[in-house]
């Protein structure tokens, strides 16, 4: 039988990080069975990080709740983990926002608890202001988003602020959302030119650049962003929404034949993610892709995973059937988000995505 330390070592050797999750879950169970609070705390800390960065926010939330409760009950023992707890709390807020089963009322309680703890531990409100921006964007409220954006940019950075590369990328994304491709491209180019980087940057930056560059008539630069960004994001479950953006670019520019194998290559990974927002983006572009393929008539031969609900052993598919399937799945998720949020923003966004299938 492996020890907790041996399981943690095996987890640390896994690449990509999602491979660490089974070892970390086993380490958690073993620590719990041995009633080793410190080992259970350490193993769950690693598990929350692995889950948050590999498309399993539901697992992260469950184990973070245990960490937070244990931290509160045994503050003296885990006082040195205060900063780590607060940093992970950011991932939990983001994961809750992207989970339509997580009620807004409960999310606001989480936000209030996070804000209370930031004050208690002497941190600022910088990240809390950014989270308000994310919520306003998801709700499709441009006025609230603009106010939150200005508040976020006006507040001083503190220890809970994201790195400067992440923040510049997020400012870039806000400009895209507000329909200002010129400002977005300027910020994106600066990220690339200055070699700004972190876990997600410049992978997501390249993806963010493509559509604005197309809008500005910079086709060659957009193609370069696609090539470089895809090289970084390919076959990483954490970047399924980024892959969806690459597929969006390919559909927008009429490169359906290139989009199809890229889509098929990532289908199994996408179907296994538990981030509903990322899955929604992938389902939407999937529907648009197969809707585009309908125009060619006939059937399409392509190898798809057995995990796919409409898997055919002969690997021959009718585009109209798959287009309907993915549109239905995406619409169901959009309805869940919109019901939770009290808006129609996800349904509207899905319609915009589906129109990619008729614009080429």
Would you state the CATH architecture of domain 163-233? Alpha Horseshoe (1.25)
Q: Is the pLDDT of residue 360 over 60?
A: no
Mean pLDDT computed over 284-305: 96
Q: What is the pLDDT of residue 15?
A: 85
Sign (positive/negative) of CA torsion 133, 134, 135, 141?
positive
Tens-digit pLDDT profile for residues 307-349? 999 999 999 999 999 999 999 999 999 999 999 999 999 999 9
Largest CA distance in the chain: 68
Q: Where are the alpha helices (DSSP H) in 53-141?
A: 57-73, 75-78, 82-97, 104-120, 126-139
Closest to 294 (Cα-Cα) out of 325, 265, 271: 325
**Which residues have CB under 8 Å from 158's CB, separation 6+?**
123, 124, 126, 127
Tens-digit pLDDT profile for residues 194-220? 999 998 999 999 999 999 999 999 999
Half-sphere exposure of 261 (CA within 13 A, CB side): 2
Bridge partners, 316 (sequence order) = 301
Q: What is the pLDDT of residue 348?
A: 97
Cα 106 to the center of its chain, rounded Å: 21
What average pLDDT does the structure give for the chain? 96
Mean pLDDT computed over 75-81: 97
Mean pLDDT computed over 134-151: 97
Q: Backbone phi, then psi, for 274, in 5-degree steps? A: -115, 15
Closest to 169 (Cα-Cα) out of 216, 214, 217, 201: 201
How many Å apart are CA 82 and CA 75, to the nearest integer? 9
Tens-digit pLDDT profile for residues 58-74? 899 999 999 999 999 99
Q: Is the pLDDT of residue 1 over 80?
A: no
Q: What is the pLDDT of residue 357?
A: 65
Q: pLDDT over 90 for what percent of the chain? A: 93
Q: pLDDT over 70 for what percent of the chain? A: 99
Tens-digit pLDDT profile for residues 234-250? 999 889 999 999 999 99
The model's confidence at residue 359, banded by pLDDT at 50, 70 and 90, is low
Q: Is the pLDDT of residue 175 over 80?
A: yes
The model's confidence at residue 296, banded by pLDDT at 50, 70 and 90, is confident
How many Å apart are CA 247 and CA 317, to the nearest integer? 19
- The pTM assigned to this predicted structure is 0.93
Would you state the CATH architecture of domain 1-123? Alpha Horseshoe (1.25)
Bridge partners, 300 (sequence order) = 317
Q: Is the pLDDT of residue 277 over 60?
A: yes
Burial class of residue 198 (count of CB atoms within 10 Å of its CB; 0-12, 13-18, 19+) = middle
Contact 14, 20 (CB under 8 A): yes
């Amino acid at each position: 039988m492996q020890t907790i330390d041996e399981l943690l070592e095996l987890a640390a050797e896994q690449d990509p990080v999602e491979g660490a999750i089974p070892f970390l879950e086993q380490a958690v169970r073993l620590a719990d069975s041995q009633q080793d609070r410190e080992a259970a705390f350490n193993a769950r800390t690693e598990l929350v990080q692995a889950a948050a960065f590999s498309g399993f926010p539901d697992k992260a939330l469950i184990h973070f709740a245990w960490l937070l409760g244990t931290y509160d009950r045994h503050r003296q023992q885990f006082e040195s983990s205060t900063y780590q707890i607060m940093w992970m709390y950011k991932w939990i807020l983001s994961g809750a926002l992207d989970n339509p089963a997580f009620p807004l009322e409960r999310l606001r309680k989480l936000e209030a608890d996070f804000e209370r703890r930031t004050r208690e531990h002497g941190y600022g409100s910088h990240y809390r202001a950014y989270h308000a921006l994310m919520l306003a964007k998801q709700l499709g409220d441009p006025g609230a988003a603009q106010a939150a954006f200005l508040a976020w940019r006006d507040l001083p950075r503190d220890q809970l602020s994201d790195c400067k590369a992440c923040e510049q990328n997020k400012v870039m994304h806000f400009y895209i959302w507000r329909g200002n491709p010129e400002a977005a491209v300027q910020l994106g180019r600066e990220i690339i030119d200055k070699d700004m980087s972190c876990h997600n940057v410049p992978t997501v930056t390249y993806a963010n650049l493509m559509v604005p560059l197309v809008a500005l008539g910079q086709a060659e630069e957009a193609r370069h962003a696609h090539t470089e960004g895809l090289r970084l994001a390919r076959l990483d479950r954490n970047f399924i929404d980024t892959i969806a953006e690459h597929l969006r670019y390919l559909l927008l520019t009429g490169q359906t034949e290139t989009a199809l194998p890229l889509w098929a290559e990532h289908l199994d990974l996408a179907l296994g993610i538990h981030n509903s927002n990322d899955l929604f983006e992938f389902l939407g572009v999937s529907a648009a892709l197969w809707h585009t393929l309908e125009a060619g008539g006939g059937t399409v031969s392509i190898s798809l995973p057995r995990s796919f609900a409409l898997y055919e052993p002969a690997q021959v598919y009718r585009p109209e059937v798959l287009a309907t399937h993915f549109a239905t799945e995406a619409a169901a998720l959009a309805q869940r988000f919109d019901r939770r949020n009290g808006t129609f923003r996800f349904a509207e966004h899905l319609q915009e995505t589906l129109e990619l299938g008729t614009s080429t």
